[in-house]
């Protein structure tokens, strides 16, 4: 019965842009608590996304249904600024760091001191912010600009990275499911993060509690691949934190 009900939820979401928990409960004649459990399981399976009391189907052919950068920038901004401030303690003169196109890393870029470091990024807003600094050597991934996401897409990224030894890759994600898999709402950003996660000497994941038990449309990697983590409440090694 549960499997049939969850398939019915998926079918309803396919035919509607999004539906609230209350509407789904009325449609299927079950409690909102039952719907919440079903939605949690479907999200963990990577079939739906939940946000602000609503659920929607993941459109795999699109692979880019995340919010625009300016919306993400203003969401949970206090937590992001706090995590960014804590990440500053990891950065020292002479380092080569990489930043993803997340809004959290944009907050970090705004707080970066103007010191002798190299910063590699695919983020247009971060490039605009760091272009004001005199001592930071800024390296942009370049490529096609995706204005909605504020990121550049470069198919020659791997070749470009051959000449760079990244000391520290700092990034965020759209969600961490119960198995510890890291997800993004954008396949292009996920590819950038996945490549940097494998190539950097160390990695630092920044996230807040809203990202826990959430999946997305594109897989980045797994928590076990991350060397260090800063959450809204704790800092730890990636090998020991539990997402659930």
The predicted-structure confidence for 109-128, as pLDDT tens digits, reads as follows 999 999 999 999 999 999 99
Spacing of C-alpha 97 from chain mean position: 18
User: What b/e sequence results for 144-182 when a residue is b if at least 16 CB atoms lie within 10 Å of its CB, and e otherwise?
Assistant: eebeebbbbbbeebeeebeeeebbbbbbbbbbbbbebbb
> What is residue 227's predicted lDDT score, i.e. its pLDDT?
96
The torsion angle over the Cα atoms of residues 185, 216, 207 and 51, rounded to 10 degrees, is: 90
**Ranges of the chain whose pLDDT falls below 70:** 58-77, 232-244
> What is residue 72's predicted lDDT score, i.e. its pLDDT?
61
The strand ranges marked E within the chain are 19-20, 48-51, 54-57, 96-99, 118-121, 137-140, 144-146, 151-153, 168-171, 175-176, 181-184, 202-206, 218-222, 228-230, 235-237
Helix (H) or strand (E) holding 210: none
> What is residue 67's predicted lDDT score, i.e. its pLDDT?
64
88, 67 contact by CB (below 8 A): no
Sign of CA dihedral 138, 142, 146, 151: negative
* pTM flag (> 0.75): no
Q: How many CB atoms lie within 10 A of CB 65?
A: 14
By DSSP bridging, strand 228-230 and strand 181-184 are: unpaired
SS3 156: coil
Taking alpha carbons only, the member of 62, 19, 17 closest to residue 9 is 19
The Cα 204–Cα 210 span in angstroms is 18
């Amino acid at each position: 019965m549960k499997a049939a009900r969850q398939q019915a939820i998926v079918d309803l979401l396919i035919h509607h842009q999004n539906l609230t928990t209350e509407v789904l409960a009325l449609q299927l004649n079950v409690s909102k608590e039952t719907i919440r459990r079903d939605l949690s399981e479907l999200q963990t399976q990577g079939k739906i996304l939940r946000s602000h009391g609503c659920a929607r189907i993941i459109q795999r052919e699109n692979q880019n249904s995340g919010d625009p950068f300016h919306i993400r920038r203003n969401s949970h901004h206090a937590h992001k600024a706090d995590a960014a401030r804590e990440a500053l303690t990891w950065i020292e003169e002479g380092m080569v760091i990489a930043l993803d196109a997340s809004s959290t890393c944009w907050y970090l870029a705004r707080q970066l001191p103007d010191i002798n470091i190299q910063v590699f990024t695919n983020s247009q807003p971060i490039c605009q912010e760091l272009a004001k600094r005199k001592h930071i050597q800024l390296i942009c991934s370049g490529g096609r600009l995706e204005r909605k996401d504020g990121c550049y897409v470069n198919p020659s990224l791997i070749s470009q990275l051959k000449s760079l030894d990244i000391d520290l890759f700092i990034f965020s994600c759209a969600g961490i499911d119960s198995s510890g898999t890291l997800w993004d709402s954008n396949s292009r950003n996920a590819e950038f993060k996945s490549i940097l996660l494998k190539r950097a000497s160390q990695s630092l994941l920044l996230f807040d509690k809203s990202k826990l038990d959430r999946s997305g449309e594109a897989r980045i990697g797994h928590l076990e691949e991350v060397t260090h983590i800063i959450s809204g409440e704790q800092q730890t090694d990636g090998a020991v934190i539990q997402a659930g």
